[in-house]
Amino acid sequence: MAATIGAPRVLLRRLRETMALPEGGEVKLARIVVDIAANMVAEVCSIYLRRRDESMELVATEGLNPDAVHNTHLARGEGLVGLVASRAEAVNLPEARDHPSFSYRPETGEEIYHSFLGVPVQRQGRVIGVLTVQNRTQRNYAEEEVEALQIVAMVLAEMIASDQLEPSRAGNRSVGQVVGGVPLSDGIAHGHVVLHVPRVAVDTLIADDPDHEEKRLSDAIEKLRATIDDMLSRGDVARAGEHRDVLEAYRMFAHDRGWIRRMNEAVATGLTAEAAVAKVQNETRARVVNQTAPFLRERFNDLNDLSNRLLRMLTGRSTAVEEDLPDDTILVAHSMGPAELLDYDRQKIRALVLEEGGHASHVAIVARALSLPAVGQADSILNKLDTADPVVVDAEAGEIHIRPSADVISGYKDKERLKAQREARYAKIKDQPAKTKDGVEIELLMNAGLMVDLPHLHETGAAGIGLFRTEFQFMIASTFPRPDEQQRMYAEVLDAVGDKPVVFRSLDVGGDKVLPYLRSSHEENPALGWRAIRMALDRPALLRTQLRALMRAAQGREVRVMLPMVSDVAELEGARELIDKETRHLVLHGYTLPKRLLLGVMIEVPALVWQLDRLLPLVDFASVGSNDLLQFLFAADRTNLQVAQRFDSLSYPVLRVLGEVATKARTHDVPVTLCGEMAGEPIEAMALVALGFRSISMAPSSIGPVKAMIRSLELASVEQSLHYALSGDVGDIRQHLQGFAATHDVEI
C-alpha cells in the first residue's frame, strides 16, 4: 500500500517518541528501522553510515541478518548503497539483482528480496549515510513512498549530526592524516579549524502544529528578504564592492516561488520550518552534485548560503563570522561564495580549505587577491576533522595535514619563518626600482580583476596594472551588468590607480567562463570555440556597451583597452570599427572623450605570431597571454592535470616563439608586455627579460620575488647565456638557467 500524505506524520511522531527514550544510540537505531519497515509495509529496512575511510557500514537493520550489523562494510561506490551515496539521489528498483551495481553480500541474507528503494541521508550537502527498504515481491515504490523515506532520511541526518543516533565514534579520529587537494592560492599556514557553516543543531524536527510552522517559515523568509534589502540599501554596501551583484542574486532567490513552495510542502508533511529548509537544501544539492558546469555550482552556492542564513534565523544560532574567531583560524567549508569570504576578519584567517572549488572559482580569485593560502577539492575533508582540530595547510603542495605531529608542525614553522624573512626583504625593496645590476629597468605590473585586488598596487610597489580582467564583474552577477554599473566600476579602478597605467581586457567569456544569463550552445572544445573577441564581434552590442562604459568612466583620462583571443588582423579591424562608432556616439551626445584611447591586442593564438608585421602597426601596444599561448602551442589543456605537466615553459619552442614576438615588437617600436603565470616565476622572468621583454605582469604576490631576482641580475650575462642555450645543444634549458643563476648569485 502506498504511503499517503499523513503517513510521514505518523512515522515522524513514532521517531520523536523513540528519540525521547533513555536508551543509547544502538537501541534507538534498532527501534527506528522497525518503525520505518512497519510504516512503509517493507520486509527490510536498513541504515548504513559513512565512515572516515569512505566505506558504508551497516549500523541497523530490520529483516536482514542481525549479525551483519557492524560487520558489513561496502567500499566507496560499492553496490546499490554505494550508488545511492555517489549519486546523492534515490534509487528505486523492482529487481535489485538485475542492476549492474548490485553487490551480493551473503552475510546479510538479502538474496530472497527483490525490490529495493534507497535514499541518501544528507547533512549540509554531504551524504553521511543511506536508508533502504526492501521487499520480496517485485514492485516499483510509489512516488509518495519515496518522498516519505526522503523525509525520514532528512530527520535521521539531523539526529546523527547532533550525536543522538551515532552508534560508535571509536577509532574515527586519527592523528597525522594528510588530505590532498588542488592549490588555489599559494602559501603555508598552521592553525585551528573553524567550520564556515557550523552544524546548526535543529532541536525540533517534527512539528506539533503545521500551521504554526508555516507561519514561522513565512516570517523568517520576510525577515531574510528585509535583511538582504537592508544590505543593498545601506551605505556600507561599498565594502562589498562588486559583490553587490552577489547580493542581488540572493534577493532574486529569496523571492523564488518554487523554492518557497517546496519548503511549504515539506512543512505540510509534518516537519518543522527549519527541518523543511534543510530538506529542500539537500534536495537542491542532490540535483547539482553531478553537474560539471561551473556557473551551475556557483548558483547553487548562492542558494545554499541563502538556506543557511534562513536556518540560522529560524534556530537563533550565530554564524562563524559572528563568533570570536581564534587568531589562527583555518577556515574549512564545503563550498563558499566570494562575498562570504570577505565577511570574515582577514587578520584572523590564516588559510582556506574547500571540499569543492577550482582555480577559476570566484572564491579562489578572492583568496588570491587577499594573499590567503587556499586549497580546493580536498575530498571529504569535512568528514575527517572537527572544529578546533589543529591543521597545517600547505597550499604550495596542495596538502592539508590533519592533527599533525609535533615534528610536522615544527618543520612547517621553519618554512613559515623563512617565508616571513623573504617577505620582509621584499618589503624593503618595494619602493626601489626593478633595475638590473647593469642598469636596465624592467616594468613590473600586476594582474587584477576585482576591487579587492587594488590595494596590492601600492602594497607591492607595482608600476601599474598590466591586465585587468573585466569578465570577473560579469561572472559574479546574476544578470548582465547594466552600462551604468560597468561605468561605475571602471571609474573606481581608474580612481584607485591614479597616474599609474591600467590595461582593461575586454570581455573574455566563453570557454570555461560561462555566463548563466547569456545563451550559448554546447561546444565539444570550448577553449577553441566561440569566446572572447569572436563572441564580441558576433554580438557587437556586448563590446559596444563595454567600450561606452570605459570611455565614459575615463572623464578625460587615458584608457587602455586590450582585445583577447585575436587570431586574425581582420578581427582587430572589426573591433576598431566598433570603437569608432562608439566615439562618434559620445561626441554626438556631448560626452567627454578620453584624453587618449590606446588599443592593444593579446597575443595568445599562435596564428597571430606569423601576422605580427601586419598587426603591430595597427595597435598602440601588445600583450602576450602566455597561459593560453603555451597550451595552444603544445595542444595540452593546462587545466588537465594529466597533460598540463607534459611541457616546459622554458623549452626551446616556447622561448623561440616569445623571442620572435619581442623582436618584432622592438622592430615596430610597439610596447609589449607578457601577462601570465610565466611572468610570476623568477627563473621564467629571468628568461623573459633575456629574450627582450622589458614589461611583465603577474599576480601581486610574485612582484617581490621577481623584483629581487632582477636586482641581483646582470642582464648582459644572462642574454649571452640564453642565446648560447637557444643556438646550441644544452639539452635542458631550465637546468641550464638554474645553473647560471647559481653561479652568478641570482636570487631565484
Candidates 335, 366, 371, 337; CA nearest to 351 is 371
Non-local CB neighbours of 562 within 8 Å, separated by 6+ positions: 467, 503, 504, 505, 506, 599, 600, 601, 602, 621, 623
- The answer to whether residues 355 and 333 touch, using CB atoms and an 8 Å cutoff, is yes
Paired strand residues for 435: 441
Specify the DSSP element, H or E, that contains 572. Answer: helix 569-588
What's the number of CA atoms in the CB half-sphere (13 Å) around residue 654?
23
Non-local CB neighbours of 627 within 8 Å, separated by 6+ positions: 604, 638, 676, 677
Cell of 512: 570555461
CB burial readout 231-270, b (16+ within 10 A) else e: beeeeeeeebbbbbbbbbbbbebbeeeebeebbbebbbbb
CA 361 to CA 295: how far, in whole Å?
Answer: 9
CA 738 to CA 721: how far, in whole Å?
Answer: 11
Question: Which is the catalytic residue, given 196, 334, 362, 456?
Answer: 362
CA 178 to CA 41: how far, in whole Å?
Answer: 45
Amino acid type, 594: P
What's the number of CA atoms in the CB half-sphere (13 Å) around residue 347?
1
Q: Identify whether 675 is a catalytic site residue.
A: yes
The sign one gets for the Cα dihedral 30, 35, 38, 39 is negative
CA 96 to CA 584: how far, in whole Å?
Answer: 70
- The answer to whether residues 142 and 115 touch, using CB atoms and an 8 Å cutoff, is no
Residue ranges of E strands in 411-476: 443-448, 465-469
CB burial readout 113-148, b (16+ within 10 A) else e: bbbbbbbbbbbbbbbbbbbbbbbeeeeebeeebbbb
CA 565 to CA 283: how far, in whole Å?
Answer: 40
CA 366 to CA 341: how far, in whole Å?
Answer: 8
Cell of 309: 542564513
- The answer to whether residues 358 and 381 touch, using CB atoms and an 8 Å cutoff, is no
Amino acid type, 356: E
- The answer to whether residues 327 and 349 touch, using CB atoms and an 8 Å cutoff, is no
Non-local CB neighbours of 393 within 8 Å, separated by 6+ positions: 187, 188, 189, 190, 330, 350, 351, 353, 373, 375, 399, 400, 401
Question: Which is the catalytic residue, given 196, 401, 456, 675?
Answer: 675
CA 342 to CA 215: how far, in whole Å?
Answer: 33
Specify the DSSP element, H or E, that contains 402. Answer: strand 399-402
Cell of 94: 523492482
10 in helix, strand or coil?
helix
- The answer to whether residues 44 and 61 touch, using CB atoms and an 8 Å cutoff, is yes
Cell of 336: 563558499
Residue 183's alpha-carbon distances to 212, 638, 643, in angstroms, are: 48, 14, 17
Percent helix, percent strand, percent coil in the chain, to nearest 5: 50, 15, 35
Residue ranges of E strands in 69-138: 73-74, 91-93, 115-123, 126-135
CA 365 to CA 370: how far, in whole Å?
Answer: 9
The catalytic residue positions are 362, 675
